[in-house]
Amino acid sequence: MDAATFFALFWGWLTVVFATILFIRPNVLVDLKRLMVEVRAFALIYGLLSLLLGLASVILHNIWVLNWHVLITIFGWLTLLKGVTVIGWPEISKNTSFEVRIKSTRIALVVVGVLAVWMLVATYAGAN
């Protein structure tokens, strides 16, 4: 299995499973958002994991092409930037209203969820 296939399956399934859970159980999203703001240790662990996953993706698959493979790179860079932001600028979450954070996260979950499904379909179909 090459790196592109691995990351497409990894990011695709991770995103689909996570987005599905957060839509089926909205209270989980609310709890996660509260933890991010109220418990700095949770935010640091979340940020560190995001940083590591994003960095691994960017190092191993930083390919900017005009097909679905670019989604792997975009997911990696977004995860890396999320990790840097959560660790370096925690006040962004504290200064944003809770309702705005929940709504923006739900919108982002829909967008990345659809892109993840597209990436999974393309991977399983063997598209280049």
* Residue 51 near residue 83 (C-beta atoms within 8 A): yes
Q: What is the largest CA-CA distance in the chain?
A: 44
**Across residues 91-97, what is the average pLDDT?**
79
Q: Which two three-digit tokens encode residue 94?
A: 């504290």
| Rounded Cα gap, residues 68 and 45, in angstroms | 30
Task: Report yes or no: 72 and 13 within 8 Å, Cβ to Cβ.
Answer: no
Q: What is the pTM of this model?
A: 0.83
pLDDT in tens, 41-65: 999 999 999 999 999 999 999 999 9
- pLDDT tens readout for residues 18-48: 999 998 999 999 999 888 888 999 999 999 9
| 5, two tokens | 């296939």
CB 95 within 8 A of CB 102: no
Q: What letters, b where the CB count within 10 A reaches 16 and e where it falls short, cover 91-127?
A: eebeeeeeeebeeebeeebeebbebbeebbebbeeee
Place of tokens 């930037």: 81
